[in-house]
């Protein structure tokens, strides 16, 4: 029988009493919990102590490293440029929002400039949409790829968006499930280590974080979002990954769509040189940050959207994963229009309420095993700052199951605020940039 190096109760007491865990204690804790030596109720107590008392930078960095060590690390050193040098890699992570389809145009856009983008993405839960759910609305497209396929596609096309394998930071999956049912999801050291353990294990050389702030974001408080961004940048830096974070507004949905197929449709509009101004702005800004972090400073991402180069990569990327980029996307069978109740200026359109409506229409899921409707969602016809007239369509609700309309309308009660003409609605999309 194996003799354990530490005792779980002693570890809990240390953090309960605001002490600092040693590197050896942290390594043992993650390993012992993964092996089942530390019971769920003990890890729950430790998580709560961390939520209440925090961790310093050294502790969080070691905790993250221990989570990475629980599984495999991907290696992209086999990727080569035409001259035989190791190809630079860059990735982006968003903390999630409503209408956040940025990954779709962003990955092929960055690949235009010779930087490989291994974008391992997830599915939606609750009011935030999942990148894989959106892409699966494209006929034939496959999310699950072998490591060989992933590497070959990165070498040939420079971009891949796919599901992460179960081998990356398996300790995180177990810890996240526990945090979800014990009221400790909000612990910033645990959020940061959860995100960064997977991103660092992914093996990318540079990482840009899009930390959302506002009603539709996980972090609704700017001070907490800033702390999370700073913590994640420090973790990436300590792990040798060039890491930058942008804090971006999520009080209003991004773009004019919240759903799956309709967000793909909007992403294709952006790749064709059009699309909503805020989606284009954030796509270009994140591309510039990813390219700079990867050492490419003379690129013009806006030009690559306008002239079709990014679209060319998109079509090849979708085809390489079994999808048909020219196929018609699913369309919801039923629709219902919500109109403006007065003349004036739309000064507010609450992201969380729009997200909940899209979820209730069938675009999202309450449990990870729930199905989603590809065509469901909310299509917006106005954004804050627009002048509207009474009776003018504000948004269209889309679903295959019309009995969902009532609850979606309830979710949107009070979401749109219309003020007298002359009122102003200001929105700063990029709030701040955080780097070390």
Catalytic residues: 93, 172, 179, 194, 198
The two most distant CA atoms of the chain are separated, in Å, by 76
Closest CA to 110 of 363, 307, 286, 333: 286
Laid out side by side, the sheet with 206-213 consists of: 90-94, 206-213, 242-249, 430-434
Question: Is the alpha carbon torsion for 189, 186, 433, 293 positive or negative?
Answer: positive
3-state helix, strand, coil in the chain (%, to 5): 40, 15, 40
Residues belonging to the chain? 436
CB–CB of 94/228 below 8 Å?
no
Q: Are 252 and 351 in contact (CB under 8 A)?
A: yes
List, as own/partner pairs, every contact residues 305-309 make where C-beta atoms lie below 8 angstroms and the sequence separation is at least 24, other chains included: 305/105, 305/109, 305/270, 305/271, 305/273, 305/280, 306/273, 307/273, 308/272, 308/273, 309/112
Q: In what order do the strands lie in the sheet with 416-419?
A: 387-388, 344-349, 416-419
Report the alpha-carbon distance of residue 276 to residue 135 in Å, rounded.
Answer: 19
Distance in angstroms (rounded) separating the CA atoms of residues 130 and 248:
18
- Tokens 């990436």 correspond to what residue? 236
Q: Residue 241 corresponds to which tokens in the numbers above?
A: 């990954």
Tell which residue, 181, 194, 206, 198, has the closest CA to residue 231.
194
DSSP one-letter string for 48-106: HHHHHH---HHHHHHHHHHHHHTS-----TT-B-TTSSBPPBEEEEE---SS--THHHH
The span from the CA of 283 to the CA of 17, in Å, is 45
Give CA 293 to chain center in angstroms. 19
Structure tokens at 385: 């700052």
Query: Are the C-beta atoms of residues 397 and 409 closer than 8 Å to each other?
Result: yes
């Amino acid at each position: 029988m194996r003799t354990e190096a530490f005792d779980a109760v002693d570890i809990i007491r240390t953090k309960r009493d605001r002490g600092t865990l040693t590197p050896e204690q942290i390594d043992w804790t993650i390993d012992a919990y993964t092996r089942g030596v530390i019971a769920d109720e003990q890890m729950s107590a430790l998580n709560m102590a961390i939520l209440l008392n925090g961790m310093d930078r050294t502790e969080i960095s070691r905790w993250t490293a221990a989570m990475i060590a629980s599984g495999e690390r991907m290696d992209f050193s086999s990727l080569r440029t035409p001259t035989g040098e190791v190809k630079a890699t860059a990735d982006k992570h968003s903390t999630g929002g409503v209408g956040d389809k940025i990954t779709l145009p962003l990955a092929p856009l960055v690949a235009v400039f010779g930087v490989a983008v291994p974008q391992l993405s997830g599915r939606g839960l609750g009011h935030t949409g999942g990148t894989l759910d959106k892409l699966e609305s494209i006929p034939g497209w496959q999310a699950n790829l072998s490591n060989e396929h992933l590497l070959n596609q990165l070498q040939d096309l420079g971009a891949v968006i796919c599901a992460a394998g179960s081998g990356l930071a398996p300790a995180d999956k177990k810890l996240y499930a526990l945090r979800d049912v014990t009221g400790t999801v909000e612990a910033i050291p645990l959020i940061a280590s959860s995100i960064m353990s997977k991103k660092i294990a992914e093996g990318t050389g540079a990482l840009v974080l899009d930390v959302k702030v506002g009603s539709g974001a996980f972090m609704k408080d700017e001070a907490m979002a800033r702390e999370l961004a700073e913590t994640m940048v420090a973790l990436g830096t300590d792990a040798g990954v060039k890491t930058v974070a942008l804090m971006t507004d999520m009080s209003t949905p991004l773009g004019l769509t919240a759903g799956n197929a309709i967000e793909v449709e909007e992403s294709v509009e952006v790749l064709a040189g059009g699309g909503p101004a805020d989606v284009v702005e954030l796509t270009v800004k994140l591309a510039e940050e990813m390219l700079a972090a990867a050492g490419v400073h003379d690129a013009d991402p806006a030009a690559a959207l306008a002239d079709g180069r990014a679209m060319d990569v998109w079509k090849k990327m979708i085809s390489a994963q079994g999808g048909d980029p020219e196929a018609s996307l699913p369309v919801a069978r039923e629709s219902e229009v919500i109109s403006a109740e007065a003349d004036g200026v739309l000064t507010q359109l609450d992201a969380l309420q729009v997200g909940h409506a899209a979820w209730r229409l069938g675009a999202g899921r309450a449990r990870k095993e729930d199905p989603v409707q590809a065509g469901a969602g909310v299509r917006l016809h106005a954004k804050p700052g627009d002048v509207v007239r009474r009776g003018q369509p504000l948004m269209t609700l889309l679903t295959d199951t019309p009995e969902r309309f009532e609850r979606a309308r309830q979710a949107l009660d009070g979401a749109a605020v219309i003020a007298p003409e002359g009122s102003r609605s200001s929105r700063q999309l990029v709030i701040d940039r955080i780097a070390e």
